[in-house]
Homo-oligomer: A and B are copies of this chain.
Amino acid sequence: MTQSTLIIGAGGVAQVVAHKCAQNNDILGALHIASRTKSKCDAIIASVHEKGAMKVEGSFEAHEVDARDTAAVADLIRKTKAEIVINVGSAFVNMYVLDACIETGAAYIDTAIHEEPDKICETPPWYANYEWKKRDLCAEKGVTAILGAGFDPGVVNAFARFAIDEYMDEVTSIDIVDINAGSHGKYFATNFDPEINFREFTGVVYYWEDGQWKETEMFASGHDWDLPVVGTQRAYQSGHDEVHSLAANYPEADVRFWMGFGDHYINVFTVLKNIGLLSEHPVTTAEGLEVVPLKVVKACLPDPSSLAPNYTGKTCIGDLVKGTKNGQPAEVFVYNVADHKEAYEEVGSQGISYTAGVPPVAAAILIAKGDWDAKTMKNVEEMDPKPFFTELDRMGLPTRLLEGGLGGTDKAWND
């Protein structure tokens, strides 16, 4: 058991993390949540108590912190005696929080790659620009840092590792497919922070093929995928964190990421992008005000957490992994299906936040139990996937697979 766990961030994913930590506070100890706006933390804690989510008697405290102030985060870690920090704040704060963990010795978990506000789409592999530069320091100090432990990146990295370990001698390709077949009923909305959401799709799309980085652009490469539960869905090659670590760990495999988009999303995105409204570079209004257009678009769009109450339908996220076993072609699709409404009923969040927020808590539990207490920096595919799947099964995100690939035999991962 851990003495104390600190959550950084108070958005839709943090809401899920808070509920799941509460449901496992027998393992995660005293709970703390901190963000720039303390009232958001208070609201999350209130919703935890409303659902009676605390498994055993224990504390859950809110704090105000500027997560880009490493000293302040380190002070908070010391003050709260946190042994594990789950960072689900904005992607702009990762390195500051990681530094605070390295300074204090707390274990670090995040769910997305570090980004600098003024840069979109850095050179691949993305992790090498920031996180991996601290790998040796983590090892030297014996600090556990699990990078990208959300769903994608995160669980999909474990799916790839599992598929390769269990079904292949050699891997030739990993295609990660992320489909949200749900409906929020709004004209347009993003499922998580619009700023981060759009930034994913405005830069070069990098993918790994034939042992090298290749480039395409958003919506240029589409494919119809026939998936369990959600049926046939069109997805487009997109840039995504996990491509960058999987390509480093499995350089012999082609690694691609596919995100599902409807025509309406693409139209809105295209209009906003072409006009320049998705730009992170400030423009000056006629009145002399300097503004980043993307931040204004974000302010106009619905708050992703507001979508939850009316969200219906399901997500399907999985990895189609191909390779050879005993000289024969081998193929498997490892996947999870989640339901928006069930997520809302359990933790007050929609399915996208749910799939992103449950896995880092599973990772925290594995660190607390020792299974994943790596004492160095790791991406998820570098950790044993089986205890992770076991926790996820228990926590509401069961792992299934189609043996033989899409259209193959459907079964639980441990059947």
Chain B proximity of A264: nearest CB distance (Å): 10
Q: For the complex, is A271 an interface residue (Cβ under 8 Å from B)?
A: yes
The count of residues in chain A whose C-beta lies closer than 8 Å to any C-beta of chain B is 28
Q: For the complex, is A277 an interface residue (Cβ under 8 Å from B)?
A: yes
- In the complex with contacts A187-B274, A291-B289, A283-B268 CB distance below 8 A: no
Whether A187 lies near B299 (C-beta < 8 A) is no
Residues of chain B lying within 8 A (CB to CB) of residue A291: 285, 289, 291, 296, 299
Q: For the complex, is A414 an interface residue (Cβ under 8 Å from B)?
A: no
Residues of chain B lying within 8 A (CB to CB) of residue A297: 275, 277
Residues of chain B lying within 8 A (CB to CB) of residue A188: 271, 274-275
Residues of chain B lying within 8 A (CB to CB) of residue A229: none
Q: For the complex, is A267 an interface residue (Cβ under 8 Å from B)?
A: yes
Q: Give the residue of B274, B275, B295, B300 whose beta carbon is less than 8 angstroms from that of A276.
A: B300
Q: State A289–B296 Cα separation when bound (angstroms).
A: 9
Q: For the complex, is A56 an interface residue (Cβ under 8 Å from B)?
A: no
Residues of chain B lying within 8 A (CB to CB) of residue A396: none
Residues of chain B lying within 8 A (CB to CB) of residue A272: 271, 275
Q: Mark A258-295 against chain B: 1 for CB-CB distance below 8 A, else 0.
A: 00000000011001101111010001111101011101
Whether A275 lies near B285 (C-beta < 8 A) is no
Q: For the complex, is A81 an interface residue (Cβ under 8 Å from B)?
A: no
Q: For the complex, is A301 an interface residue (Cβ under 8 Å from B)?
A: yes
Q: For the complex, is A298 an interface residue (Cβ under 8 Å from B)?
A: yes
Write the chain B residue with the least CB distance to A189: B275
Where the two chains meet, the residues of A that have a C-beta atom closer than 8 Å to any C-beta of B are 187-188, 195, 267-268, 271-272, 274-277, 279, 283-287, 289, 291-293, 295-301
> What 10 pairs between A and B have smallest CB-CB spacing?
A276-B300, A283-B299, A285-B295, A271-B271, A187-B274, A296-B296, A285-B299, A268-B271, A291-B291, A275-B300
20 pairs, CB–CB < 8 Å, chain A vs chain B: A187-B274, A187-B275, A188-B271, A188-B274, A195-B286, A267-B267, A271-B271, A275-B301, A277-B277, A277-B297, A277-B300, A279-B300, A283-B299, A285-B291, A285-B292, A286-B298, A289-B291, A291-B291, A291-B299, A293-B299
